[in-house]
Amino acid sequence: MSQMERAWTRTQLSEQFHKAGLAPGDAVILHSSLKSLGVVEGGAEAVVDALLEVIGPRGHLLVPTFTYCLPMWNIPPFDVRTTKSRVGAITETVRLRPDALRSFHPTHSVAVVGPEKETVTRNHLHATPLGVDCPFDRMRKYGAKILMLGTTQDTNSSLHLCEVLAKLPYVEVAFSEGQDFELAWFINEEGQVEYTPIYEVPGCSRGFRVVEEPLRRAGVLRDVMIGNAPSQLLLLEELIEAMKSLLATDPTLLLCHNEQCTICSKRRAYMKKVMGSASS
């Protein structure tokens, strides 16, 4: 990093968020990479302040605070108050805000700021991680925009929601052999460890960038610059609609082609089995 590199200020970032298309009252799902912005005066706090300033007190901000608390991955049980987000500095900063509310989910919790944060985060454990009635799905009600801040579609969790909404049979295939769920664990209100099965386990997202060109062409994905970071802006509802038709044409579109990827290989094989003659 050269000493001459400029540091972005909160005010400059606010202006850029606004110019990119964010406005007061917006509901924003934010995926982010702090590093990609370059140097920011005040770091992650300043980025979050800048965004909240633009969407104002009637706006909503949702960030993933995923923790993947599965005993099989040797990740300790989820504690909603203390388990750190594993998906970046900006998400952890939002989680720690006094006015943020975190959903209770051992693998795919989210943190939300905004007047309807309770409605958005309530009962996450009773939905599937990124399926129907999860917090991402509930954000549709507020006309959610998705901002990929210095990230690309391979971190867009809403694409997992699209897999579920498109009723792709492969969401039933879990990482564990011969199972349609994974066992997660968490600390309950009494301070005891509790186990819960997780269905519709979000699989691999390494192949998700395949949707960028078609979405761009359809005008669903817009490229914007924030700080030094090439970023992307989408409307959740438009994404869901566009993905419905893309996945109708090719139901395995979102599975990656890496031969080492066990979950995508298993899911591809499963699709061959269940779609059988229909797809040949």
Residues counted in the chain: 280
Cβ distance to Zn ion smaller for residue 62 or 256: 256
Kindly state the number of chain residues that form the binding site for Zn ion, as judged by CB under 5 A.
4
29: phi then psi, degrees, rounded to nearest 5: -95, 120
Lay out the site mask for Zn ion across 28-57 (x = CB under 5 A, - = otherwise): ------------------------------
Q: How far is residue 176's CA from residue 263's CA, in Å, rounded to a whole number?
A: 9
Q: How far is the CB of 200 from Zn ion (least distance, A)?
A: 16
- Please list every residue from 232 through 271 that binds Zn ion, using CB under 5 A: 256, 261, 264
- Please list every residue from 185 through 204 that binds Zn ion, using CB under 5 A: 204
Cβ distance to Zn ion smaller for residue 205 or 228: 205
Lay out the site mask for Zn ion across 102-121 (x = CB under 5 A, - = otherwise): --------------------
Q: How far is the CB of 235 from Zn ion (least distance, A)?
A: 27
Q: How far is residue 132's CA from residue 158's CA, in Å, rounded to a whole number?
A: 11
What b/e string do you get for 5-20 counting C-beta neighbours within 10 Å, with b at 16 or more? eeebebebbbebbeeb
Q: How far is the CB of 275 from Zn ion (least distance, A)?
A: 19
Cβ distance to Zn ion smaller for residue 173 or 236: 173
Reading the block at residue 127, the tokens are 């939905």
Lay out the site mask for Zn ion across 147-186 (x = CB under 5 A, - = otherwise): ----------------------------------------
Q: How far is residue 221's CA from residue 146's CA, in Å, rounded to a whole number?
A: 10
**Alpha carbon of residue 103 to chain centroid:** 13
Cβ distance to Zn ion smaller for residue 46 or 204: 204
Q: How far is the CB of 256 from Zn ion (least distance, A)?
A: 3
Q: How far is the CB of 202 from Zn ion (least distance, A)?
A: 11
User: Of the candidates 128, 123, 125, 122, which has an alpha carbon nearest to the alpha carbon of residue 194?
Assistant: 125
154-157: long-range contacts (C-beta < 8 A, 24 or more apart)?
A: 154/205, 154/206, 154/207, 154/208, 154/209, 155/31, 155/87, 155/205, 155/208, 156/31, 156/205, 156/208, 156/234, 157/29, 157/31, 157/64, 157/108, 157/130, 157/202, 157/205
Reading the block at residue 222, the tokens are 């817009």
Cβ distance to Zn ion smaller for residue 147 or 264: 264
Cβ distance to Zn ion smaller for residue 122 or 206: 206
Question: Which residues contact residue 190 at a Cβ distance below 8 angstroms, ignoring those fewer than 6 apart?
Answer: none
Lay out the site mask for Zn ion across 3-32 (x = CB under 5 A, - = otherwise): ------------------------------
Q: How far is the CB of 216 from Zn ion (least distance, A)?
A: 23
Cβ distance to Zn ion smaller for residue 40 or 256: 256
Any contact of residue 210 with Zn ion (CB under 5 A)?
no
Q: Beta strand pairing status for 60-64 and 145-149?
A: unpaired
Give the footprint of Zn ion on this chain (CB under 5 A): 204, 256, 261, 264
